[in-house]
Amino acid sequence: MYKESQIYKPFELAKVMDYKTISLYKYVSLDEPEVLKEKLRNYCEALDILGRILLGKEGINAAISGKKENIEKFKQLLKKDKRLADLTFRELEAEKNTYHKLVVRVRKEIVVFGKEVSFKNKAPYITPKKLKMLLDKKTDAILLDARNSYEIKLGKFKNAITLPIETFREFPEAIKKAKLPKNKPIISYCTGGIRCEKAATYLKQQGFKEVYQLKGGIIQYMNEFPNTYFEGNCFVFDDSLTPSLKVKPITTCDICHATSDVMINCHNLECDKLFICCPTCQTKTKKHCSPACEKAPRHRP
């Protein structure tokens, strides 16, 4: 008989992370987005880069993946355009391409808001470090969550003001109703910063005297200060761009009520409801929110 320790165990194969997934955005005046669109599409095709790039007269918003060296080349090509020279990127290594096709489009807005926002007079940034300092000092500034209700359900900054919105497009109307004081400092935040850059700048336009936007959003803040003032988890639309963060869930499974912060869409295509479902219940219900949905005719593959 061999003891357990004497049995030969092959080394586990290390994952080869040859790919990268990156995201980027910038609000910047782009005169001829159609011209840039053709250029970027050509770069992506030549470099085997997949993902989604949105362009508009107000800027660029993209999430793409490809071989590491090709992503580096693409970044350099982008930065050759003077308007994009100071772009910053959120990056994560990957084993393979995260995206399965390439979509390059010109849209009226790179994030749908429905109201004209002029970025000539942007709301200034506040760093996670500065925000943490202010919260330590019990600042009387208003923390404003610019995200949707279902995201806020998973977690938010302690004492933040939230709006009852299902989409970002509802933000302007909800702000009108919220009647926040115009002379108090407001710090707005969202997941990665792209929404609150628009929201905060819009608030300035609406006459709010002192408005800031959290640089890098919740993701950057949680990386620097995990479990400090941000309670619960951060909802993300795209897992492939977000390193997993160790946080204490504040929510429970909608089915068995055990502590969980896993949010999924119901796999009944007619329902598609976002709900919290722990791993055990995911197996039991095959990712459905109710027995009726389990019996429905059309399901996600």
Residue ranges that bind Zn ion, judged by CB under 5 A? 253, 255-256, 266, 268, 271, 273, 278, 281, 289, 293
Q: Which is nearer to Zn ion, 206 or 290 (CB)?
A: 290
CB of 272 to Zn ion, least distance (A): 7
CB of 278 to Zn ion, least distance (A): 3
* Cα→Cα distances 1→8, 24, 126, Å: 13, 58, 64
Q: Which of 44, 190, 196, 277 is catalytic?
A: 190
Cβ contacts of 192 within 8 Å, gap of 6 or more: 23, 25, 90, 216, 217, 218, 219, 220
Q: Which is nearer to Zn ion, 90 or 288 (CB)?
A: 288
Q: Which is nearer to Zn ion, 240 or 252 (CB)?
A: 252
* Nearest residue to 171 via CA among 193, 144, 131: 144
Residue 93 tokens read as 């290594």
Q: Is 293 annotated in the active site?
A: no
CB of 264 to Zn ion, least distance (A): 10
CB 254 within 8 A of CB 289: yes
CB of 281 to Zn ion, least distance (A): 3
Q: Which is nearer to Zn ion, 102 or 271 (CB)?
A: 271
Give me the active site residues, please.
Answer: 190
